[in-house]
Structure 1
Amino acid sequence: MLTLLEDELMRRLGDAAGLGLVRHTSSVIAATSGAVAIGDLRVAAGVSSTHLAQRFKELIGVTPKRLARSYRFTATVLAINPAGPIDWGDLAGGAGYFDQAHFGHEFRAFTGLTPTRYVEVRRRFLREHPGHVLDGWPLPAD
């Protein structure tokens, strides 16, 4: 049954309008860890912003901008070493955030915590659970 379902889903996905566009655009987003201007991708693909966003929403459920934000944030959180000092300005700039305020806003949007509070919680987790299987992973945050 699972094989039949998978075959049918693959068949339907293969017929999806804009699949090539979404695959290419999402691969660029992934390769740049989200640090790419969606407008540049749209221009390179020769489509409107609306068309690109619609194809993404239909095929993967989020807009290309949201996908890029997710990739950029993930790369940033994975770059945080809670055991050492953190230069938030360098971290934000290296991830492609415009400034620390933009970085802080994105961080709160994804975690519900400020970057400083997130690191405090991570450090507490590491102290309270030494050798835990999640040691070295960015989550859990609380």
Structure 2
Amino acid sequence: MQYVARVPAPPLDLFIDDVYCLTGVPRHRRMNVPPMPSAHLFLNLSGPVRLWDCDPSAPPAVLSDGWFMGVWTRRFLFEYPTPVRLVGVHFKPWGISPFANLPATELRDRWVPVDDVWRRSLDRLRNQVGDLASPAEALRVLEGELRSRLAGAPSPGLGLVQHAGERLETCHGAVPIGALADAAGVSGNHLAAQFKSHVGVTPKLVARIYRFAQLIVSVDARGPVDWSGLAHAAGYFDQAHFSREFKDFTGHTPTQYLALRRRFPPSPGFPPDSGPMPAD
């Protein structure tokens, strides 16, 4: 598949890691996706996408048009159509907040149709983007839509969350939450409440996800892997805790994950393969 992405111009880059187009035939249709420090917008221009929560009590979903996803705290399964034609947004964990007039907790571990967030907009967006053959033009249209929806005045508490979130991003989660609160001059409870409002989860959980993401992208499956060293470098100081969290987030032990990574190496220049793994 072809992955074309770019970082949007300011001020969108404060809330968005990249906008992207994904096209072509997937090497693996079904992917196991661990928690990552992102929220998402997908505009699907191809066949239906299937999503499964790893929670067996949650029903699977078949999504054909477009949807938002908040921050996920557990893994899910994602099945691509054939072929793929999808335009998307990787929001920072706090990034959906200024674009969506609903509590972030309603997007935590959920997929929500675009029209539930942006009323009566999906057909217009899909028609605009779908008529464009060039990924660059499609991204320009999507970026323009995002720019038009960026709230003029930030909602209360978003600046605090953004500042603390940027520290977590820079440090890959390896900063005590108490230190974040002290630096901001607020209580830990206040910081947690603002994160729940704008991210949907606590800063402690965001830090865990950043820490795990840093570890995953540090794995080089081409040679021997020092899991203990990688875990320590990512901020895990308890090997048993690291092993439990790794299994919770991926569904695999580190040894099983490494075997899969060697069996299915990521495509060069294809960032979405850094964490997700084939599930078929």
Report the TM-score, using the length of structure 2 for normalisation: 0.44
User: Are 2:198 and 1:30 aligned?
Assistant: no
Please say which of residues 1-10 and 56-65 is displaced more in the overlay. Answer: 1-10
> Aligned partner of 2:218: which letter?
A
> Alpha-carbon deviation of 1:113?
1.1
Counterparts of 1:24-103 in structure 2, within 5 Å, are 24-103=163-242
Q: Percent of counterpart pairs with the same letter? A: 47
SS of equivalent residue, structure 2 residue 225: coil
> Alpha-carbon deviation of 1:31?
0.6
CA contact (8 A) 1:35 1:95 kept: yes
> Aligned partner of 2:156: which letter?
A
User: Are 2:248 and 1:140 aligned?
Assistant: no
Structure 2 stretches lacking a partner, 5+ long: 1-120, 126-143
CA contact (8 A) 1:56 1:62 kept: yes
Counterparts of 1:121-140 in structure 2, within 5 Å, are 121-126=260-265, 137-140=274-277
> Alpha-carbon deviation of 1:10?
1.4
> Alpha-carbon deviation of 1:41?
0.7
Please say which of residues 58-67 and 85-94 is displaced more in the overlay. Answer: 58-67
Report the TM-score, using the length of structure 1 for normalisation: 0.82
Higher relative CO (Cα under 8 Å, sequence separation at least 6) belongs to 2
Residue equivalent to 2:256: 117
CA contact (8 A) 2:216 2:274 kept: no
> Alpha-carbon deviation of 1:29?
0.4
> Alpha-carbon deviation of 1:138?
3.6
Deviations 1:36-84 (A, max 9, x none): 1111111221212221111011112221111111111111000001121
Distance 2:201 2:163 in 1: 15
Distance 1:23 1:131 in 2: 32
Bigger strand fraction: 2
Distance 1:22 1:33 in 2: 16
Residue equivalent to 2:116: none
> Aligned partner of 2:253: which letter?
T
CA contact (8 A) 1:89 1:99 kept: no
CA contact (8 A) 1:34 1:72 kept: yes
CA contact (8 A) 1:118 1:141 kept: no
Distance 1:5 1:27 in 2: 21
User: Are 2:148 and 1:10 aligned?
Assistant: no
SS of equivalent residue, structure 1 residue 36: coil
Bigger helix fraction: 1
Q: 1:131 to 1:41 in 2, by over 3 A?
A: closer
Q: 1:125 to 1:51 in 2, by over 3 A?
A: same
Distance 1:26 1:81 in 2: 27
